[in-house]
């Protein structure tokens, strides 16, 4: 399968924050969840992919091409949704349609008005008067009305109520029904990612801590809830991290099958992406403390 | 690029009411001053009433008040031309710069669109200033229509240079930094001027009058031959600023900030 997006040793040094040699690929036709807590480097990575900010080091390829050289052509095939709406408050749907029709080669007024209707967004109302959910839908409508093959979205569901979030996630799932459509979805809401993503990339403090197919990650990891004494019997190389809980400790292990054989007396539970993320962040924190 | 120009037009359309109000105010000011110079307190004999003998200073102050007021009418209408630069602020406020950089637009197109709308707006305000001059010229006796248009053209050239430099600065820094630098430079210039005046007054006394006199005379000569040098300089500066803006935006590898 072709990679739509390839990041190789991507580094951005801000002085007080470093995006440190980020590597991951996104194959065509999948939804990639880009997960990390606030300030982990998700937005910086997205801005680098879109060539909004300059790379310090590394290489980014979109559809096999360099964004810095072929940006104008490539961006015609990319739809972008930012966490904050980037349109002026006084613009209406009608005006946005006119502007975008002059910006994108394949802009379709029919598709745009169709989405606006579908999302229940009035074409003549100023977008400054839209609610947060409506603003997000407007951005999505714009992102999907010019025949984009890759959607890049930065926290599109944060701050939205569950019903609107659900609606938006369904739209994304519909979008990837077309086999050449791909989505990079950044979020700190792991529930959304768990629901729709095919692959997951975890980022923490500018470093990729885990990446791979979502199902594989969920299948491999397991949570052992036990006493501190039992936790001490688990080999260090099997553990991602150990956290105190109300009844003892939670131990996240990264190879469920191996651990099931090695520690057959301990009970293993299926864990969520959120738990995995918390434990990986916990491990990174512990490592930096030790360092 | 057409989309960017259209977006800027929508931006500037939101300021249309302020623009029209300024034009009306300029028109009213011009007419009021003119009427006052004919029938009111600015009539020469009324203005000079009570003075036993009219000195050169009295004449100068009369000309400054009357002339300044009339020119002010033309200049106000032209001054709104600087408003075109507000699109930078609007884009920054709306977080449009990131959206813009995610669209299929080349950096050169971003710069060109900015220059087209900003200078287009300056041209529009220049045309408006000519219209204001045309409208108030029948009642103004002190200056001819030609003189008013000349003054407007000179200021338009100066504004064009100022706009070019400002656009470069806005591409280099964000609006907040630009405002701080602009206000800082403005206050600093005034402070320097004030200090210079105080110091000159204390140490040089009469020499200050001499310096000011020379400056005024040279200023007059400079003003009268303005279009000979200011127009080509303005055109050259705008061209230079455009290329500098392109260089800045490419070097920074980002939209505006």
Where do the structural domains in chain A lie, given as residue ranges?
3-213, 217-290
In percent, the amount of chain B with pLDDT more than 90 equals 4
Cα–Cα distances in angstroms (integers) from residue A35 to residues A211, B28, B125, in the given order: 10, 61, 51
CA distance linking residue B62 with residue B251, whole number of Å: 53
Place of tokens 């229940």: A120
Pick from A54, A80, A99: CB nearest B102:
A80
The Cα of B6 is separated from the nearest Cα of chain A by a number of Å equal to 6
- The larger pLDDT score, comparing residue A246 to residue B109, is at B109
Q: Kindly report, residue by residue over A121-167, the tens digit of the pLDDT.
A: 899 999 888 888 888 889 989 998 998 999 999 888 777 778 878 88
- Which ipTM was obtained for this model? 0.79
- Which residue is closest to B87 within chain A, CA to CA? A88
For chain A, what is the mean pLDDT?
87
User: Minimal CA–CA distance to B162: which of B227, B84, B217?
Assistant: B84
Per residue in B31-52, pLDDT tens?
Answer: 787 778 778 777 777 777 766 6
Cβ contact, residue pair A47, B7, below 8 Å:
no
Helix pair B107-136, B16-39: axis angle to 10 deg: 30
Fold (CATH) for A3-213: Rossmann fold (3.40.50)
The 10s digit of each residue's pLDDT in A72-122 is 888 999 999 988 888 888 999 999 999 999 999 989 999 999 989 988 889
Average of pLDDT values for B98-123?
88
Rounded mean pLDDT, B59-63: 73
Q: In this predicted structure, which of A191-205, B97-111, B192-206 has the lowest mean pLDDT?
A: B192-206
Substitution target in B8, B99, B107, B257 with the highest count of A β-carbons within 10 Å is B99
Question: Cβ distance B248 to B174 under 8 Å?
Answer: no
A and B: number of Cβ contacts within 8 A = 79
Q: How many CB atoms lie within 10 A of CB B232?
A: 11
pLDDT over 50 (residue B56) = yes
Question: Between the CA of residue A260 and those of A216, A231, A233, A255, A267, what are the distances in Å?
Answer: 16, 14, 13, 8, 8
pLDDT digits (tens, 9 = 90+) for B140-187: 666 777 877 887 888 888 888 888 888 888 888 766 666 767 776 777
- Token digits of residue A232: 């001490």
Q: Does A99 touch chain B (CB under 8 A)?
A: yes
Q: Name the band, by pLDDT with cuts 50, 70 and 90, for residue B208.
A: low
Please state, in angstroms and as integers, the Cα–Cα distance from residue A120 to each residue in A81, A133, A134, B171, following that order: 18, 11, 8, 38
Q: Per-residue pLDDT for B255 more than 60?
A: no
pLDDT attached to residue B116: 92
* Surface of A (2-61) touching B: CB under 8 A: 47, 50-54
The CA distance from B158 to A119, in Å, is 50
User: How much is the CA Rg of chain A, to the nearest whole Å?
Assistant: 21
At B215, the pLDDT band (50, 70, 90 cuts) reads low
Helix (H, G, I), strand (E, B) or coil at A34: strand
pLDDT band of residue B191 (cuts 50, 70, 90) is confident
Strand partners, A19: A12
Alpha helix (H) residue ranges in chain A: 42-49, 67-75, 93-103, 109-118, 132-143, 162-175, 190-196, 214-220, 228-231, 256-262, 273-290
Q: Is the pLDDT of residue B218 over 70?
A: no
- Interface contact flag, B94 A75, Cβ < 8 Å: no
């Amino acid at each position: 399968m072709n990679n739509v997006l390839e990041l190789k040793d991507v580094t951005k040094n801000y002085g007080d924050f470093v995006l440190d040699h980020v590597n991951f690929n996104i194959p065509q036709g999948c939804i990639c969840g880009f997960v990390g807590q606030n300030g982990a480097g998700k937005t910086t990575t997205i801005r680098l992919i879109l060539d909004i900010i300059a790379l310090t080091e590394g290489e980014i390829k979109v559809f096999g091409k360099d964004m810095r050289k072929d940006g104008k052509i490539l961006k015609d095939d990319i739809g972008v949704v930012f966490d904050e709406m980037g349109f002026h408050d006084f613009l209406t749907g009608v005006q946005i349609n006119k502007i975008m029709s002059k910006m994108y080669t394949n802009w379709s007024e029919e598709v745009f008005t169709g989405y606006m209707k579908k999302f229940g967004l009035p074409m003549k109302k100023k977008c400054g008067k839209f609610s947060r959910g409506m603003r997000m839908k407007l951005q999505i409508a714009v992102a999907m009305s010019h025949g984009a093959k890759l959607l890049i979205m930065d926290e599109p569901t944060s701050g939205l109520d569950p019903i609107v979030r659900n609606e938006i996630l369904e739209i994304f799932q519909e979008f990837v029904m077309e086999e050449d459509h791909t989505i990079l979805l950044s979020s700190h809401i792991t529930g959304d990612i768990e629901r729709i993503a095919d692959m997951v990339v975890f980022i923490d403090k500018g470093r990729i801590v885990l990446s791979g197919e979502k199902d594989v990650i969920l299948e491999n990891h397991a949570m052992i809830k036990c006493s501190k004494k039992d936790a001490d019997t688990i080999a260090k190389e099997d553990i991602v991290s150990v956290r105190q809980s109300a009844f003892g400790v939670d131990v996240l292990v990264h190879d469920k099958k191996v651990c099931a054989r090695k520690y057959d007396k301990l009970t293993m539970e299926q864990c969520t992406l959120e738990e995995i993320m918390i434990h990986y962040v916990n491990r990174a924190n512990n490592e930096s403390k030790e360092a | 690029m057409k989309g960017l120009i259209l977006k800027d037009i929508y931006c500037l359309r939101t300021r249309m009411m302020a623009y029209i109000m300024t034009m009306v105010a300029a028109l009213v000011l011009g007419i009021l001053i003119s009427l006052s110079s004919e029938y009111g307190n600015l009539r020469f004999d009324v203005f000079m009433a009570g003075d036993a003998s009219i000195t050169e200073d009295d004449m100068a102050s009369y000309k400054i008040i009357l002339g300044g007021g009339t020119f002010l009418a033309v200049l106000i209408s032209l001054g709104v031309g600087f408003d075109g630069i507000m699109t930078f602020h609007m884009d920054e406020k709306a977080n449009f710069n990131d959206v813009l950089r995610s669209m299929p637009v080349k950096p050169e197109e971003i710069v060109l669109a900015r220059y087209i709308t900003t200078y287009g707006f300056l041209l529009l305000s220049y045309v408006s200033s000519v219209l204001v001059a045309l409208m108030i010229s029948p009642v103004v006796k002190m200056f001819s229509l030609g003189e008013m248009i000349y003054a407007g053209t000179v200021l338009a050239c100066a504004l064009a240079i100022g706009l070019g430099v400002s656009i470069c600065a806005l591409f280099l820094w964000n609006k907040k930094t630009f405002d701080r630098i602009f206000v800082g430079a403005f206050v600093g210039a005034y402070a320097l001027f004030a200090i210079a005046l105080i110091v000159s007054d204390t140490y040089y006394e009469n020499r200050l009058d001499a310096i000011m006199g020379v400056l005024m005379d040279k200023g007059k000569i400079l003003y009268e031959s303005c279009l000979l040098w200011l127009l080509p300089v303005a055109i050259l500066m705008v061209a230079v600023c455009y290329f500098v803006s392109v260089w800045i935006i490419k070097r920074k590898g980002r939209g505006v900030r």
